[in-house]
Structure 1
Amino acid sequence: MIQRIPAFLDRCRIALLILNESHWSRSVLDGIARYAGEHCGWDFWLQPRGLKEPPKLPEDWCGDGVIARISNEPLRESIARHGLPTVNVSWHGTHCREFPKVISDPQACGRLAAEFFIGRGFEQVGYIGPPDCYNYRDEVWPEVDRVAEEAGCQAYKFDPDPNSPQPDYDFQRLRLVQWIRSLPKPVGIVAWNTTLAREIMLTCGAEGICVPDEVAILAVESDPLVSNLSPMPISQIEQRMEQVGYEAAQELQRLIAGGEPHEKPILIAPAGVIEKPSTDTEFATDVLVQQAVSFIKRHCDEAITVSDITDHLDISRRSLEERFRKALKRSPAEEIRFARVRVLKDLLRRTTMTHAEISVEASFSCENAMFRFFKRMTGLTPGEFRRNQSIDLPMFPETL
C-alpha cells in the first residue's frame, strides 16, 4: 500500500526575520500573510524579537526563502551562509543581487512631506532624521531639502550631539530645545518616525510653543498607537507597509521559482498623508484665506464649490483665486478637492461602510462619481486603497 504524503509537506518554508514590536513591522507581516493566504500557503519560521534583540538565522535551519529586515552585518552573514532566495524590506543597506529590496520609497516620502508643508503655505521646514545608532543612510532629508529649496523655502536639519553618551533623541532634550527655539516660526517639522514626532511635541509643550500653529509636526513613519499616546494625534505619511510585505512575498515567490533579481529595488510609493491635529493649522499669511480654509474644513463632507466660499466671504472669485495663489500656492478648487479626498480616505480607513454608503456620506451624486474622483486624485481605486490600510480607530475622533 502506497503511503500518501500530507499536502502540507510540499509547502514552502519561509523565514521571517522582521521586527514584530511596531506597527510598521506588523503591517509588513500582514502583507506577507495576505499574499501567502491568497497564493501559496507558506509555512513560516519566525523569531519573535524587539528592536535591540539581535536577529539571526540558525545555522541548522532548512527552508526555501527568507524575507528580512537586514539591518546589520551579522544578520546579513547568517542569511548569506544559507544561500537562499532572500528579499530585504529595510531601508538599511544597499540593493544587490544577493539581497534585493522591496521597500517603501524613501525619496518619495521626503518629497511628499516637504510638498505637504509647502502646500500649507509654510516657508520654513525642519527635519529630524534617524538617530545615529540606527545606522541608516538617510534618503528622506535630501528630498526634503531639495523640494524646499526649489519652492524658495528654507529647510533646517537637526544635528544630534555626536559626543552624547546616549544617541537616542530623548537623551538630547537640551539640544532639541535649543534647535526648536532657534527655528523661525511658523515651521513645519518632518520627523523620521512617530516616536521622534512625539518627542518634538513634548518639547514644544514644555517650552510653551503652540502645536500646530507655531510648530506643525508630520511623521514619516506611521504608528497609530504612539500617535494616540501623544498629547495630540500626530499626522503621518501612509507608507503602505502592508503592500511592501505583499510585494516582497510576491517577489520572493518569483525568486524561488528561478527568477532573476531586479537591477533596482522595487519601490512602493506612499499613498498620501494621514492628517491629524498635529498639522491641523489654518496657517496662511492672509486672514481671508484662513477664513476660506476654515469654511472648507467645516463643509468638507458636502459638495461645496468655490462659489459657496465667495458668497460666504462676500468676495469676487478672481480676488479669492489670486489671494489663494499668493498665500498657499494653489487654488480654492484644489483646496476643496484635497479636503474631500481626505474625507473619503478617512471613511475608507476607519469604517466598514460600502462604497455606495460612503458616496452618500460624502455628498457625491453617485458611487461612480465618487469612484472616478478618488481614482483621479490618488491613482488608486477606493477598494485598492482600503485593502492597503489597517483600520485606525482614533482615540479622539472629534478632532479629525
Structure 2
Amino acid sequence: MSPHRIALLFNANKVYDRQVISGIGQYLKSTRVEWDLFMEEDFRCRTLGIQHWRGDGIIADFDDPAVAETLTHLPMPVVAVGGSYADDSQYPPNTPYVATDNTKLVRLAYDHLIAQGLQRFAFYGLPPSPGNRWAHERETAFLQMIDADGLEGMVYRGSPTSAGGWGRAQEDMVAWVKSLPKPIGVIAVTDARARQLLQACVVADVPVPEQIAVVGIDNDPMAQLLSRIPLTSVTQGAEEMGRMAAQVLHQMLHGGDCTNTRVLVPPVGINVQASSLHQPMRSPHVMRARHYIRQYACLGIKTEQVADYVGISRTLLEEHFKRELKQTVHQTILEHKLEMARAMLEDSSIPLADVAVRCGFTSLQYMYAVFRREFNCTPRQFLSMARA
C-alpha cells in the first residue's frame, strides 16, 4: 500500500509554523504512519496550482486568508490550523480546525505582569489586515481582561514592518514608549513585536523592566539572540497543534467524519526572563544603572562607566546600590554576567570558551575561577546540579 500524499501549507520561515510542522513529524514517528509530504522548497506557503495537486490530504495555516479561500472547497480532506476566535462564525465552515487559544495566551502574559505588582498595562499589536485577524483576537482579549478588572488599557498597533519605513516606524514607537505612564506592563502580540519594543526602549533610554516590563508570545530563540535584554515570552502549544492536526487528518483518511471537529490548544507555559521581572526602585540612579548593566555587562564594562552613564560619582552610585540592592555595582555586573553564562550553558553546542568570551569574562580560566568562588563548582557541574 503506497503512502498517502499530504501537503503541508505553512510559512516555515516563522517559528510558530515550524513548531506546528515539528508536531506533525512527531505524530508520524510515534504512530509509524507513512505519509509522502509535500512542502515548498523555500519554506514559503504558496497555493498556486494546489487545485490541480493529486494528493490525498492537506494540513494548512488558515490564518492566511488566501490559503483558507483556496482550500475551502477542495474535494479532499483538509485540516485547518490557526488562531482561535471568540465569534464561532469566524471559523471556516465544514472544516476541522485546530487552534491556538488566543485568550489563554494573553491571559498567561497578563497574569504574569499582575504578579509583578504592576497596575498599568498596554498592548503592542499589529495594524488591521485580513491576515492579522489572530492579532486582533489577542488585542480584543487583552481589552476584555483590562475592562473586567476596571482598568484602562492602552493599545499601540504601530506600522507594518518594512525596511523602507522602519526609520519612521521606530521614531513613532519611541514617541509612544516615552508617552506611556510608568511603570507599565506591555504585552506584545508576538516576540518579533516585543523585540522591536525592547529596541525602542533602549533608544528612548527607558529602563526595562523597572519602567516598562515586556512580555512576548512565541518563545522564539531568534528573538532572544537578537535582544540585549532577555525576553519573557509565552510558549504556544504549537507542537501539540501539529500532532492534533495530523491525528485528525489520519482519522479522515481512514473514513472518519471530522467535519465539525474543533480543538483549542492552550499555551505550554511562560518562559520568564529579565524583560518582565519588574522590581520597583526608589532610586532613579539605580534604575538607570541597571538598565545600562543589562545592555552592556557582557561587554566588560566597569563601575566607572556605569557611573558616567548615570551622571553621578562612583561613590554616590555605590551608596545608592548598597541602600537599594544591598550589593555593589561590580557585584550587580557580575551577577548579570553569571546569569547570561548559566543560560548559555544550557546549549551544549556552544563551546565553554565561547560562553566565557560572550559573557564578558577575560578568559575561560577566569570564568572557572568565578564559578568556583561563587558556586563552589565548575560551570558544567553547576549545570548538572541545576538539572538534577
Specify the TM-score bucket, using the shorter chain as the normaliser: 0.5 to 0.7
Number of aligned positions between the proteins: 281
SS in 1 for 2:21: helix
Rounded to whole Å, the distance in 2 between the matches of 1:267 and 1:124 is: 29
1:121 aligns with 2:114: no
One-letter identity of the residue aligned with 1:148: I
What corresponds to 1:309 in structure 2? none
The aligned residue for residue 86 of structure 1 is 78
**Inter-partner Cα distance in structure 1 for 2:95 and 2:138:** 22
Flag structure 2 segments of 5+ consecutive residues without an equivalent: 283-341, 349-385
Q: Aligned residue for 1:143?
A: 141
String of CA shifts for 1:227-255, please: whole Å, max 9, x gaps. 22111221110112111101111111122
Q: Summarize deviations over 1:313-348 as a string: whole Å, max 9, x none.
A: xxxxxxxxxxxxxxxxxxxxxxxxxxxxxxxxx99x
Deviation at 1:274, TM superposition (A): 0.6
Please point out which of 100, 104, 115 is paired with 2:100: 104
CA distance in 1, matches of 2:52, 2:195: 42
Give 2:24's match in structure 1, choosing from 24, 27, 32: 32
SS of the counterpart of 1:267? strand
The one-letter code sitting in structure 2 at the alignment partner of 1:111 is R
| 1:114-161 superposed Cα distances (whole Å, 9 cap, x missing partner) | 111112111111101123356322211222222223334331101436
Match of 1:205 in 2: 202
Structure 1 residue aligned with 2:36: 43
Specify the alignment match of 1:291 in structure 2. Answer: none
**8 A contact 1:91–1:136 mirrored in 2:** no
On the 8 A contact 2:105/2:217 being kept in 1, the answer is: yes
Name the amino acid aligned to 1:108: K
Structure 2 letter corresponding to 1:157: V
**Cα separation, partners in 2 of 1:168 and 1:83, compared to 1, 3 Å:** farther
Distance 1:107 1:168 in 2: 31
Residue 189 of structure 1: which of 182, 186, 189 is its match? 186
Indicate yes or no: 2:63 matched with 1:65: no
Give 1:169 shift.
7.0
* C-alpha distance in 2 between matches for 1:244 and 1:168: 35
For 2:280 and 2:166, locate their aligned partners in 1 and report how far apart those are by CA, in whole Å: 28
TM-score, normalised with respect to structure 2: 0.65
Over residues 291-325 of structure 1, what are the superposed CA-to-partner deviations in whole Å (9 max), with x where a residue is unaligned? xxxxxxxxxxxxxxxxxxxxxxxxxxxxxxxxxxx
CA distance in 2, matches of 1:281, 1:248: 38
Could you say what secondary structure the match of 1:139 adopts? helix
**Stretches of structure 1 lacking an aligned partner (at least 5 in a row):** 1-6, 286-345, 353-397
* 1:228-377 matches, cutoff 5 A: 228-261=225-258, 263=260, 265-283=262-280
Distance 1:197 1:186 in 2: 17
C-alpha spacing 1:276/1:57, structure 2 compared with 1 (3 Å): farther
Gap change, CA 1:171 and 1:134, over 3 Å in 2: farther
Q: Against the structure 1 CA distance between its residues 56 and 92, is the aligned structure 2 distance closer, same or farther, given a 3 Å change threshold?
A: farther
Identical residues among aligned pairs (%): 25
Contact map agreement 2:95 2:260 (CA 8 A) in 1? no
State the secondary structure of the residue aligned to 2:258: coil
> What TM-score, normalized to structure 1?
0.63
Q: SS at the partner of 2:213? A: strand
For the 8 Å contact 2:214–2:275, the answer to whether it is kept is: yes
- After superposition, the CA RMSD in angstroms is 3.1
Post-superposition Cα deviations, 1:46-74, rounded to whole Å, max 9, x if no partner, equal 113456x6443534321111000134454
- Kindly provide the CA deviation profile for residues 72-115 of structure 1, in whole angstroms up to 9, marking residues without a partner as x: 45433443453111111123993234432102101111222211
Kindly provide the CA deviation profile for residues 266-289 of structure 1, in whole angstroms up to 9, marking residues without a partner as x.
11001221111111232489xxxx
